[in-house]
Amino acid sequence: MPFLPAFSSAEQWFLQKILNGIGRAPIRLVLNDGVEVTPPDVSPIGTLRIADRRTLAALALDPEIGFGEGYSDGRIRVEGDLVQMLEEVYRSMAKVRDGLYGRLVSRWQDWCQANSPRGSRHNIHHHYDLGNDFYKLWLDSEMVYTCAYFPSPEATLEEAQVAKMDYISRKLQLRPGEAVADAGCGWGALALHMARNYGVSVKAFNISHEQILFARERAAEEGLTDRVEFIEDDYRNISGKFDVFVSVGMLEHVGKDHYAEFGDLIHRVVGESGRGLLHFIGRNQPADFSRWIRKRIFPGAYAPALREALNVFERWDFSVLDVENLRLHYAKTLEHWLNRFEAASRQVSAMYDARFLRAWRLYLAGSLAGFLTGSTQLFQVVFAGSQCQPPLWTREPLYAGAPEPEPAAERKAQWTHAMS
C-alpha cells in the first residue's frame, strides 16, 4: 500500500479501508480531528468530512448504509459536487466485489422486504404514500414519477413527460375502443392521457392509497370516469380481458422472484393476441440496489438485467418487438427533479426535517449519478402475444408528425376528436 505513508493511527487504517471499499475513487476522506487519506496519483474532486469514530466505523463496516445514514444524519459532510462524487464512486465501485457482510445484509433485506402481496403493500406505502403535496413540490405538473422522453435535451420536463406518455401510446399503436390494463399507475397521468388522446378505456391498478385518491379526483375533474377506472389493488389481482397491458415503473417493485408469475398474469390479461409495454429501470448485469436505498428509500426494489427481465415474456411465447434504452433521458429527468427539489428544499425541511431532506437529496443525486455512469439503465420493451401481428411495419411512423403536446384546456375537444 504505497499510498499509505505511515500506519499512524487506527483512524487512518479505517479511512484507508473505506477508500479501498469504494474502489479508490478520487475523493479525500477526512476525520474531524484532522486525520485524512487521499487516493494516490490523482487530484481529488471533493472531500468527505466524517464527524466521529462511530460514523467512521459504520462506514468501514458497510460503506453503503454507513454513507447513506451518515450523510442523512449530517455526520458525513460532502465538500464538492455531490453528483460528480457519486459518479466517481459508482465508476470505481464497479470494480469492487461486495464483501461477505454486505452480501449477508443484502439477503437479509431481501427476506424482510419480500414482495408478497402483503410485503408489497408495506414497501409501496413506505415510498409513494409520503404525501402528494411533497411530490407536487418537485415533479412536473402532470405528476409523472418515471423517466421522461426528451425529444431534444432542451425540452422542458413538462413537455418531456407528455412526450413520453405519447411515445408509449404510439409504440403500442392504441386504437379507439381498445381496453388497456395499467399496472402500477402512479398518480394516473398515463391512464388519463391514453383515454383522453387515444379513445381507449383503461383500468389502472395501484396499491398506493394516496396516489389512487389523487388519480380518481383527476379523472372526475376531466370527466373521464366512464373511460378510466382507478382500482386500489395489487397487480396480481387484475382480472378480465384486455387488448393492451402497460406498466411503467412497476417492474422494479415486482421483485426478481416473481417475473415468471408476472408473465403468467400478463398472459391471463392479454392472452395470445394482445400486446403491451414494460418500462423499467434495468441494468447491464444483475446487481442489487444499494442497501441504503433499500433500507430508506425503496424497500424491496430490484432493477433487473435485461436478460432477467426477459423471463417475464419467455414462458408464454411473447415476442419482444422493440427494446429502447433511455438511460440518458432518465439522467435528464433526474437533473430536473433534483433542481426542483433543491429549489423547494426549505419547504421539504418544513414538511419533514433536515434528515429527510438530506436523505432524499442523496437518493436523487445518487440516481442521477447511476444513470449518468450507466450503473443503471432504462428499458422500454414492447411485446406481443404469439398470435398478435406486430402493430407497426417499421418504426418510422413513431417519428413522423408526432402531435405537439397540447395545453390542458384544449384536451376535451381533442379527445372528442380522437373518438370521432
Q: How far is the CB of 122 from its own copies (least distance, A)?
A: 31
Cell readout for 410 is 384544449
> Between vectors from CA 153 to CA 135 and to CA 289, what angle results, nearest 5°?
50
Closest contact distance (angstroms) between CB of 325 and its own copies is 5
Residues 339-378, mask of contacts with its own copies (x by CB under 8 A): -----------------------------------x--x-
The DSSP line for 245-281 is: EEEES-HHHH-GGGHHHHHHHHHHHHTTT-EEEEEEE
Residues between 12 and 71 that touch its own copies (CB under 8 A): none
Cβ proximity to its own copies, 175 vs 307, nearer residue = 307
Among 51, 60, 61, 94, binds its own copies (CB under 8 A): 94
Alpha carbon distances (Å) from 344 to 85, 128, 266, 286: 23, 19, 39, 35
Describe the chain by its helix, strand, coil percentages, rounded to 5: 50, 15, 35
Half-sphere exposure of 121 (CA within 13 A, CB side): 7
Number of residues located near its own copies, criterion CB under 8 A = 40
User: Among 141, 237, 386, 416, which residue sits at the site for its own copies (rule: CB under 8 A)?
Assistant: 386
Q: At 181, give phi and psi (nearest 5°).
A: -105, 130
Q: How far apart are CA 50 and CA 168, in angstroms?
A: 45
Q: Which is closer to its own copies, CB of 111 or CB of 393?
A: 393
- Return the residues of window 152-181 that contact its own copies according to CB under 8 A: 152-153
279 part of the interface to its own copies, by CB under 8 A: no
- The residue among 86 and 200 lying less far from its own copies, judged by its C-beta, is 86
Q: Residue 185: which of 113, 238, 240, 137 has the closest Cα? A: 238
d(CA 21, CA 295) in angstroms, rounded, equals 20
Single out the residue of 103, 175, 241, 307 in contact with its own copies (rule: CB under 8 A). Answer: 307
Site string for its own copies, 309-328 (x = CB under 8 A): -xx-xxx-xxxxxxxxx-xx
What does 306-369 look like in DSSP terms, one character per residue? HHHHTHHHHTTTPEEEEEEE-HHHHHHHHHHHHHHHHHTHHHHHHHS-HHHHHHHHHHHHHHHH
**Cβ closest to its own copies, residue 84 vs residue 325:** 325
Among 45, 51, 231, 306, interactor with its own copies by CB under 8 A: 306
Quick one: cell of 210?
394516496
Exactly one of 136, 256, 340, 395 binds its own copies (CB under 8 A); which one?
A: 395
Binding positions for its own copies, 96-115, rule CB under 8 A? none
**Burial bucket for residue 5 (CB in 10 Å: 0-12, 13-18, 19+):** exposed
3-state SS, residue 199: coil
Min dist. Cβ of residue 316 to its own copies (A): 9
Among 156, 285, 339, 414, binds its own copies (CB under 8 A): 285
Comparing CB distances to its own copies, the nearer of 60 and 323 is 323
Binding site for its own copies (CB under 8 A): 94, 149-153, 284-285, 305-307, 310-311, 313-315, 317-325, 327-328, 374, 377, 379, 386, 389-390, 393-396, 398-400
